[in-house]
Amino acid sequence: MIDIHTHILPFVDDGAKDFDESKAIITSLVNQGVKHIFLTPHYYRERGYVSLCEHNLHIFNQLKEQVKDLDVTLYLGNEIKYSLDIFQYIEEGRVQPLSRQNFLIEFSVDTSEYDIFEAVHNMTAKGYLPVIAHIERYQALKTLESIKQLRHLGAMVQVNVSALLGKYGGKTKKWILSLIKHHLVDFVATDSHRFHENEWSKAYRFVCKKFSQEMADKIFNHTGILPKD
Residue of 174, 167, 175, 180 lying closest to 220 (CA atoms): 180
pLDDT number for residue 195: 86
What is the end-to-end Cα distance of the chain in Å, rounded?
A: 18
pLDDT number for residue 23: 97
User: Which residues lie closer than 8 Å to 124 by C-beta, 6 or more apart?
Assistant: 130, 153, 154, 155
pLDDT number for residue 229: 64
Q: What are phi and psi of 207, to 5 degrees?
A: -70, -40
Q: What are phi and psi of 152, to 5 degrees?
A: -60, -35
Mean pLDDT by 10 residues, the chain (229 residues): 98 96 97 98 93 95 97 98 95 94 96 97 96 97 97 98 96 98 98 91 98 98 90
- Going along the chain from its start, the domains and CATH numbers come out as 2-225 (3.20.20.140)
